[in-house]
Amino acid sequence: MRGVTAAPRTLRPDDLPLDRVLSAKGGRTVSVCVPARDEEVTVGRVVATVAAAHLAGAGGSGLVDELVVVDDGSSDATAAVAAAAGAEVLVTPGGGKGAAMRAALERSAGDVVVFLDADVENTTGTFVLGLAGPLLLDDDLALVKGYYDRPIDGRPSGGGRVTELMARPLLEVLFPHLAAVRQPLAGETAAPRWVLEKVGLADGYGVELALLIDVAARFGTGAIAQVDLGTRIHRNRPLEELRGQATEVLRAALARAPTGEAGRPAAGRPDTRGRDTR
């Protein structure tokens, strides 16, 4: 693994040609997991797009070996729509995003696990290639995050209010070695299974920030990459619905905040296969 202080790598889709990624995949398997709650309008499109582009046995490239949707206590037809589109569906009682991601990890079997959000209107096959590709090409990487422009109210950017007003300021103050990560709350995330099992997945909406901080602490920031996925369009929630999400992100960060001097990078040396050297 790369060092603690090395900057996260920034990649573009052009760095990840499909033929090269497929060649590097070898005998490894890739699972795409989609946590969802009340997303009947968009989840079918997400599943169908990924299946057509990459699902083995469904006419795709063969990059993806299984596609799992976790219906996290939906009150609508999310499960039925996802199944009709070609996903394996696991229904859970509704424990929040972190619990849904843990359920997906337990249900799936891939060596590389890619998480996608279910509410995205413009998911493409490039999302999966961009997230899984770096891990298949470089065994030193432990986490890949997507980044993108986020339109809102007809403007080309300005979305991601919890990210810009809570998550990124928290990183700048408490975890400055991660300040260059553009979308720390991105649901478009991928990691080797052994990394997720070793580090764990936190509860609730703070799961993404917690995973980023925990992977950097254990393996070093140089083991993290971020990939340009272009533009991400999804349902923008009213401001009053974002306070709970922001609170969960704040709690995840404070629970991991370094002691002593504010902003001091978390201690620990990079590890090769999950042996904690702290």
Residue 4 has pLDDT above 80, yes or no: no
Report pTM.
0.89
- Asked whether residue 278 is domain-assigned, the answer is no
Please tell me the predicted confidence (pLDDT) of residue 121: 92
Nearest to 180 by CA among 9, 57, 58: 9
Strands 112-115 and 189-192: antiparallel
How many domains does the chain contain in total?
1
- Asked whether residue 264 is domain-assigned, the answer is no
Tokens of 64: 């993806």
Helix spans in the chain (H): 18-25, 43-54, 78-85, 97-107, 125-137, 161-162, 168-174, 193-199, 207-219, 243-255
Q: Which domain holds residue 146?
A: 9-255
Q: What is the mean pLDDT of the chain?
A: 88
Please tell me the predicted confidence (pLDDT) of residue 236: 58
pLDDT, tens digit, 9 for 90 and up, residues 26-77: 999 999 999 999 999 999 999 999 999 999 988 899 999 999 999 999 999 9
Residue 237 has pLDDT above 60, yes or no: yes
Please tell me the predicted confidence (pLDDT) of residue 5: 57
The CATH number of whichever domain residue 166 belongs to comes to: 3.90.550.10
What proportion of the chain, given as a percentage, has pLDDT over 70?
85
- Asked whether residue 272 is domain-assigned, the answer is no
Residue 19 has pLDDT above 60, yes or no: yes
- Asked whether residue 260 is domain-assigned, the answer is no
- Asked whether residue 268 is domain-assigned, the answer is no
- Asked whether residue 274 is domain-assigned, the answer is no
> Are the C-beta atoms of residues 118 and 78 closer than 8 Å to each other?
yes
Q: Give me the residues paired with residue 190 across strands.
A: 114, 144
pLDDT, tens digit, 9 for 90 and up, residues 119-171: 999 999 999 999 999 999 999 999 999 999 866 555 555 446 789 899 999 99
